[in-house]
């Protein structure tokens, strides 16, 4: 039962397969910059001509290099050298902003062959966003992303389908709060399961925010917690922590508490951890 679930795309991504669709080098953008450079030269605007010629050269180099790297990536893929193939695919689209389908099809396929499902899904998603509808392969990117997302969802919930609810709940009761939070952050299924199960209602009563949690990371974490659960928040830090960073995190926490209306919250404090003592600040 689980074997088929845990092998997404097993019929489409096989060792030695390639998703390279590019058959020629498209230098339309390069040609346009070159023509504009010639027009500037004809108008005796030599500084602009130099800039446009330089831009055309940069475009030509990047486009040509990208195409060659993708072809080399597929050659590595044929030899099952997936790490080298992945490196070339990344170099072919270093800023993850190209608008042709090949970098995303090749890159995702390499991740699939390494069973790195989440990374493959992210590549498909990025390609579906950036590649215009004029490419027929855009529909392939979209369909593959949707299908892979569905498969990943099944992968994440298979244990809950095999084992009774009570057994899964009992397993979760043995896990630490940190592990439960990590599991809840993996997908919507486990997040909803952990938040909704009766036995975990006290999981979010006390929140100890570690000093390594950044201002950027704290937002999605706190917004994912049911507003009626938290009773106390403690921001833990060491003597070596950056005070300006802590101020930013504290302000972020207060803003989210106010925005989410955590009416059951009783206290917010800061724990200063030393080697032998803990001092509480109100």
Q: What is the pLDDT of residues 64-118, one digit of tens each?
A: 999 999 999 999 999 999 999 999 999 999 999 999 899 999 999 999 999 899 8
What pLDDT, on a 0 to 100 scale, did the predictor assign at position 279? 37
Residue 212 above 50 pLDDT? no
Note the pLDDT tens digit of each residue in 49-71. 999 999 999 999 888 999 999 99
**Residues ≥6 apart with Cβ < 8 Å to 18:** 74, 77, 78, 106, 109
Strand partners, 265: none
What pLDDT, on a 0 to 100 scale, did the predictor assign at position 280? 38
Mean pLDDT of 174-189: 76
pLDDT band at residue 274, thresholds of 50, 70 and 90? very low
pLDDT band at residue 278, thresholds of 50, 70 and 90? very low
Backbone φ and ψ for 233, nearest 5 degrees, come out as -120, 130
How many CB atoms are closer than 10 A to CB 125? 19
Separation of CA 265 from chain center? 32
pLDDT band at residue 142, thresholds of 50, 70 and 90? very high
Edge-to-edge strands of the sheet including 206-209? 206-209, 232-238, 267-273, 278-281
Distance CA 264, CA 44 (A): 73
Residue 120 above 60 pLDDT? yes
Are residues 270 and 237 in contact, defined by beta-carbon separation less than 8 angstroms? yes
Reference 158, options 4, 18, 33; nearest CA is 4
What pLDDT, on a 0 to 100 scale, did the predictor assign at position 193? 80
User: Whose structure tokens read 């049911």?
Assistant: 226
pLDDT band at residue 176, thresholds of 50, 70 and 90? confident
Separation of CA 89 from chain center? 17
Residue 170, CB-side half-sphere exposure with 13 Å CA sphere: 5
Mean pLDDT of 157-176: 81
pTM over 0.85: no
Strand partners, 209: 235
Residue 140 above 60 pLDDT? yes
Residue 269 above 90 pLDDT? no
What pLDDT, on a 0 to 100 scale, did the predictor assign at position 107? 94
* Between 11 and 272, the higher pLDDT residue: 272
Residue 200 above 80 pLDDT? no
Residue 241 above 60 pLDDT? no
Q: Name the CA dihedral angle for 201, 220, 128, 99, rounded to a multiple of 10 degrees.
A: -170
Q: Mean of the per-residue pLDDT values for the chain?
A: 78
Mean pLDDT of 141-158: 88
What pLDDT, on a 0 to 100 scale, did the predictor assign at position 11? 38
Note the pLDDT tens digit of each residue in 214-232. 556 677 777 777 787 788 8
């Amino acid at each position: 039962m689980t074997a088929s679930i845990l092998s997404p795309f097993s019929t489409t991504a096989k060792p030695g397969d390639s998703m390279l669709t590019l058959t020629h080098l498209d230098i339309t953008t390069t040609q346009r910059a070159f023509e504009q450079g010639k027009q500037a030269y004809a108008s005796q605007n030599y500084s602009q001509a130099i800039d446009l010629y330089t831009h055309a050269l940069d475009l030509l180099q990047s486009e040509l290099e990208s195409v060659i790297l993708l072809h080399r990536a597929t050659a590595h893929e044929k030899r099952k050298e997936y790490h080298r193939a992945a490196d070339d695919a990344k170099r072919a689209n270093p800023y993850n902003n190209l608008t042709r389908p090949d970098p995303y099809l090749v890159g995702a396929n390499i991740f699939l062959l390494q069973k790195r499902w989440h990374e493959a899904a992210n590549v498909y998603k990025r390609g579906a966003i950036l590649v215009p509808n004029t490419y027929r392969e855009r529909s392939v990117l979209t369909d593959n992303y949707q299908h892979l997302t569905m498969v990943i969802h099944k992968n994440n919930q298979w244990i809950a389908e095999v084992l009774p609810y009570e057994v899964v709940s009992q397993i979760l009761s043995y896990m630490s709060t940190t592990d439960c939070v990590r599991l809840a952050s993996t997908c919507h299924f486990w997040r909803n399961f952990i938040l909704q199960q009766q036995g975990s209602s006290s999981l979010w009563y006390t929140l100890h925010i570690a000093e390594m949690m950044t201002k950027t990371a704290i937002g999605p974490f706190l917004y994912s917690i049911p507003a009626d659960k938290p009773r106390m928040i403690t921001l833990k830090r060491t003597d070596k922590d950056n005070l300006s960073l802590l101020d930013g995190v504290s302000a972020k926490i207060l803003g989210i508490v106010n925005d989410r209306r955590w009416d059951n919250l009783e206290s917010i404090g800061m724990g200063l951890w030393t080697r032998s003592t803990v001092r509480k600040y109100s």
